[in-house]
Structure 1
Amino acid sequence: MAHQLYRNTSLGNSLQGSLNELIQSQQITAPTTTKLPFKLPHFDKAINSVLVQMVRNGVNFRSSLNTNRFCDNEWNFVLNDVEFRKVTELTKVDKVKIVATDGKDTGSNSTE
């Protein structure tokens, strides 16, 4: 489930939209999508792998913690009055929610 966070990105939405369009135009059937090399669980793992390898930028932030929660191997933090600092750039926001998951493969198989 943790990797599914990337499905709500523009790239993930485009992939899902394209698959739906192919199904609606009857170019493929819904069961066929589970056999395609670009099915969604593969996308989930691939996007996570690429982000780990390619993103090297860092940002520091300062805030006050509103709430935190740990459930289903996932941390949720809600922060208030957040200041993000990257080199000389400073950005302030009222509230931020951070969802942190273990990026390692836990060995569980997705049924999608």
Structure 2
Amino acid sequence: MRHSTTVISQRKRSFLMLRSIGLALTDTLDDLISEERIHPQLAMKILGNFDQAITEALQKNVKSRLQFKGSLDTYRFCDEVWTFLIKNVTFKMDNGSVSVQADKVKIVSCNARRPGEGQ
């Protein structure tokens, strides 16, 4: 069963908006560095704070769980980052009301804690 396009497009818009905000921030910081108005170290600190704020907001505000099933095509672990390429994937929300299918999905995963932080 395919999911209704309205809910999918709403979720897509939310993701694209978050992605757009991150890209706009990066572009703005690049401009400020080019104009020598800030140092690259400050830009990196700002991006780190942005990532942390987004992670905390998602942890606090997203309550749904998602299950997915598919065929693992490729996986790799490099520089503390896992990358999984999965084919023929079906995603299901925890209440079973939503089911979305995709031919290919790439999942990139890293530890939420920085190296050296406590458990």
TM-score by length of 2: 0.66
1:93-112 Cα distance to aligned partner (Å, 9 max, x none): 1100101110012249xxxx
Assess if the C-alpha contact under 8 Å between 1:19 and 1:33 holds in 2. no
Aligned to 1:12: 22
Provide the rounded CA distance (Å) in 2 between the counterparts of 1:94 and 1:32: 39
- Are 1:95 and 2:104 an aligned pair? yes
Assess if the C-alpha contact under 8 Å between 2:84 and 2:108 holds in 1. yes
Aligned CA distance change for structure 1 residues 33 and 71 (closer, same or farther; 3 Å): closer
Q: Which has the higher helix share?
A: 2
Query: Where do 5+ consecutive residues of structure 1 fail to align?
Result: 1-7
Aligned to 2:15: none
TM-score by length of 1: 0.69
Q: Secondary structure at the match of 1:67?
A: strand
Provide the rounded CA distance (Å) in 2 between the counterparts of 1:57 and 1:100: 19
Deviation of the 1:31 alpha carbon = 2.2
Query: Where do 5+ consecutive residues of structure 2 fail to align?
Result: 1-17
Provide the rounded CA distance (Å) in 1 between the counterparts of 2:116 and 2:24: 27
Match of 1:83 among 90, 101, 119: 90
Match of 2:37 among 9, 29, 32: 29
Deviation of the 1:47 alpha carbon = 1.5
Aligned CA distance change for structure 1 residues 20 and 71 (closer, same or farther; 3 Å): closer
